[in-house]
């Protein structure tokens, strides 16, 4: 399992957190996604054989939010 942290832009409420969590968990290969409003980020555990960071970012962007990999 791999873990990555994505900075999520555009979230303003807990409904947004719920939406981002839902779309990330729907990506095949994702075992867990913890999304927080402050700071606006998502910590995602995934199977690198089934998905990658680009697919995670695309899922978030398709839901109407911005996603960038945290360089930290």
pLDDT value at residue 9? 96
* Displacement of CA 42 from its chain's centroid (Å): 5
Query: Does the structure show a pLDDT above 60 at 71?
Result: no
pLDDT value at residue 69? 85
pLDDT value at residue 64? 97
Q: Which two tokens stand for residue 4?
A: 């990555």
Query: Does the structure show a pLDDT above 60 at 47?
Result: yes
Query: Does the structure show a pLDDT above 90 at 27?
Result: yes
Mean pLDDT of all residues belonging to the chain: 95
* In this structure, CATH architecture of domain 2-69: 2-Layer Sandwich (3.30)
Per domain, the residue ranges of the chain are 2-69
**Cα–Cα distance between 9 and 37 in angstroms, integer?**
10
pLDDT value at residue 58? 97
**Cα–Cα distance between 47 and 19 in angstroms, integer?**
21
């Amino acid at each position: 399992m791999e873990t990555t942290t994505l900075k999520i832009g555009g979230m303003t409420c807990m409904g947004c957190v719920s939406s981002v969590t839902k779309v990330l968990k729907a990506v095949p290969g994702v075992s867990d996604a913890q999304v927080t409003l402050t700071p606006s980020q998502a910590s995602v555990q995934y199977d690198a054989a089934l998905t990658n960071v680009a697919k995670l970012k695309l899922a978030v962007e398709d839901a109407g939010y911005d996603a960038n990999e945290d360089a930290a």
